[in-house]
Structure 1
């Protein structure tokens, strides 16, 4: 990972922040992008020689383009993109508003497309990597109740990544489907506890959670590997 130039979008908190910190400790130069610039600045203070903070709202096309341009300029190029942003709304499908659908898809799918579009010339020049965080919940049958829009967005994201790969064979596109993780969005939204209990009752979750460092280590492995790694799923034992 030494001296790799990586843009991590969604690095303000949670898994994205852990990934950015892990890559910086591993020797990479990392641009951290996100909406919470104060939280980004905290991470930069931990690794001042290897990180830069860039404010970015992925719901704004201009901000996506500007953030990628700044990252490439500050790092002296761009070898890899990690899209770790994820919007979550709890509730059954019948109670989901149009605003909720837009919030989830604008962040999880359209934002990923806008950032990728802006990063494409840099990644092509480097023969680089693009990694997108998905969810193992997108694979489950029957689907998990209470997160329908989120599941739909992650299925769309994974298919979109396949389309990017087909059109750009010189770039290694990967999807990392993550399982239940400590400090995830479920702890930040009260409804998460209610639906989490339902998932455990139905046997869709075993109550165990992963540490975000597990995902960070896998991202580093994908970036350092000479292999093209298409899809990886990480779940608790």
Structure 2
């Protein structure tokens, strides 16, 4: 194929329809499929493509002029992100339900920050918090939708109430933050949104039917929105953590599958936060951490049956008990 003209050259002329059918060779089709499912392609390092002029506008430099708002900022990944942002000089809006915790964190972090006690499941509460931060910081550059809860157990036992609770926080909380923050970013034609989903958004597991559904909703929302924002100067990065050492699941330990409990395999929240900051500055599409999350997502996209086998091999039969 001539890279400039887009034409196929060969020993004989072919019809337009045949030419079009051959634009993607079989080996190229497999590569495109793998890239679309998770970027696991031999020879590819998973780094963001060189940005064009519009994508460069979606990049951000995190420094003393940066104004970032983080939900779920008092604990776990949210706290690690807040600490990493503050460590780079950013002014951080610390949004969480516990007023005492966010005020204490604001006092602990270097620099000046804004404590924003709010409930992400309450749209009006989120909107007020965003407006308060924009007024205090005189603008907004980064919005990080991180707040989340997990309720584990078979759906027949946890029931609809648990799913409604997770939907309100994990899914609608994301929508409320992005809905309130995006107009401020678009007005300046510059900024970045981060949506913290989960590896369960790629591939869920027994006992996490509701949790995985909310994380998949975040994934679909964020992936579509990244395209919708093309050319606006605002961009979006998805984050898919696997097992990270936080207290998100602390109160659910007794209901969690043994193979999923954070332990020696659990990754560091600080290490994840560092990768997220780098991803924002590079305008990366997504962060998968640890890297096994990307691999499992790609395998599941190719073959759910093969994905089940891989999960059983890694974590035991209870991780994927059916064998059909």
Q: Which has the greater radius of gyration? A: 2
Change (3 A) 1:9 1:126: farther
The structure 2 residue matched to 1:63, chosen from 125, 142, 165, is: 125
Change (3 A) 1:28 1:210: same
- 2:201 touches 2:219 (CA, 8 Å); kept in 1? no
Q: Which residue in 2 is equivalent to 1:16?
A: 78
Q: Which residue in 1 is equivalent to 2:185?
A: 123
Q: Which residue in 2 is equivalent to 1:111?
A: 173
The structure 1 residue matched to 2:285, chosen from 211, 230, 233, is: 230
Map 1:175-214 to 2 at 5 A. Answer: 175-192=238-255, 194-195=256-257, 197-199=258-260, 207-214=264-271
The structure 2 residue matched to 1:74, chosen from 124, 136, 140, is: 136
Question: By percentage of residues, which structure has more strand?
Answer: 1
CA displacement at 1:58 relative to structure 2? 0.9
Secondary structure of the residue that 1:153 maps to in structure 2?
helix
TM-score, structure 2 as length reference = 0.66
Q: Which residue in 2 is equivalent to 1:134?
A: 197
- 1:59 touches 1:106 (CA, 8 Å); kept in 2? yes
Runs (5+) with no aligned partner, structure 1: none
- 2:279 touches 2:287 (CA, 8 Å); kept in 1? no
Runs (5+) with no aligned partner, structure 2: 1-61, 293-324
TM-score, structure 1 as length reference = 0.89
CA displacement at 1:85 relative to structure 2? 0.6
Determine the C-alpha separation between the residues in 2 that align with 1:183 and 1:222.
21
Secondary structure of the residue that 2:252 maps to in structure 1?
coil
Task: Count residues with an aligned counterpart.
Answer: 227
Runs of 4+ with deviation above 6 angstroms:
none
Aligned-residue Cα RMSD (Å) equals 1.9
